[in-house]
Amino acid sequence: MSPMDPGMQQLWIISLVVAVVVVIVVAVLLEMIVRTARDIRGAVHSIWIGGKRIAGNTVTIALLRETNNIAGLILGSASEIAKASSRIRQLTGGNT
């Protein structure tokens, strides 16, 4: 092998040092990205669980609305029955 020019050798050494520094910086940045992604995944999981709980609780609100509607219909029917019973009682003289 022929000896390398000292200037060329110094350029190679500088290039290798820069490459090693770049690799280290990239590795650190990738590790930071991975940790941040894990943190985000944990937060998303917490939000998902909270959302499912909220959805489970709000389903009952829709059911309560339906129950209130049905109760209103029943109340209307009961009111009509009470009126009819009152008329029958009046017509029969209250002897039932």
Distance of CA 84 to the CA centre of its chain: 53
Locate the domains of the chain by residue range.
48-86
Per DSSP, the residues of 18-74 read HHHHHHHHHHHHHHHHHHHHHHHHHHHHHHHHHHHHHHHHHHHHHHHHHHHHHHHHH
Banded model confidence at residue 1, pLDDT cuts 50, 70, 90: low
* Predicted model pTM: 0.55
Which amino acid is located at 78 in the chain? A
Contact in structure between 86 and 78 (CB atoms under 8 Å)? no
Look at residue 3 and tell me whether its pLDDT is greater than 90: no
d(CA 73, CA 53): 31
Q: Give the model confidence (pLDDT) of 22-81 as tens digits.
A: 999 999 999 999 999 999 999 999 999 999 999 988 888 888 889 999 999 999 999 999
